[in-house]
Amino acid sequence: MSKGKGLPSTTPEDVAASAASDHDADDLTCAICLDQIKVEEICAVKGCEHVYCGKCILAWAVQKEPVWCPQCKAPFSTLLTYRKLDGTLSDFPVEESVCLLKRAHWFESHMKVSVHPTPCMA
């Protein structure tokens, strides 16, 4: 995917079209976890358009202040994502605030599991 310096007129639909045209559906790999990204978990950084798993980029954002892209170090405050704040999926990418996404119930539950894994029962 070609990474430009972020155009102010970039819309969620432009990012989705760019990701779809530059990558096969099987070729979307998260640069943080190195797993393939499920379409419903795609999060694009608004501005540079780097694509990550939603949970990976939000976990990254929790640790960085101010938040910056792991690949190009461009600062950002919004993500383009299919998963809305309430956890439901949208048919098209929507712009959501990183600050609000970090407080979303579906992400907070993920962080509790990641940070405090339950011990194995013997």
pLDDT tens track for 12-44:
555 555 554 554 555 789 999 999 999 888 999
What tokens were used for 76?
């950002």
Using DSSP's 3-state secondary structure scheme, residue 79 falls into: strand
Please give the Cα distance from 98 to 25 (Å, whole number). Answer: 25
On the question of pLDDT at 102 being above 60, the answer is yes
Q: Give the mean pLDDT of 89-110.
A: 86
Of the candidate CATH numbers 3.30.40.10, 3.90.1170.20, 3.20.20.150, 3.40.720.10, the domain formed by 12-115 belongs to 3.30.40.10
**The predicted structure's pLDDT at residue 18:** 56
Q: In what order do the strands lie in the sheet with 89-97?
A: 51-53, 42-45, 78-83, 89-97
DSSP 35: S
Please give the Cα distance from 2 to 21 (Å, whole number). Answer: 11
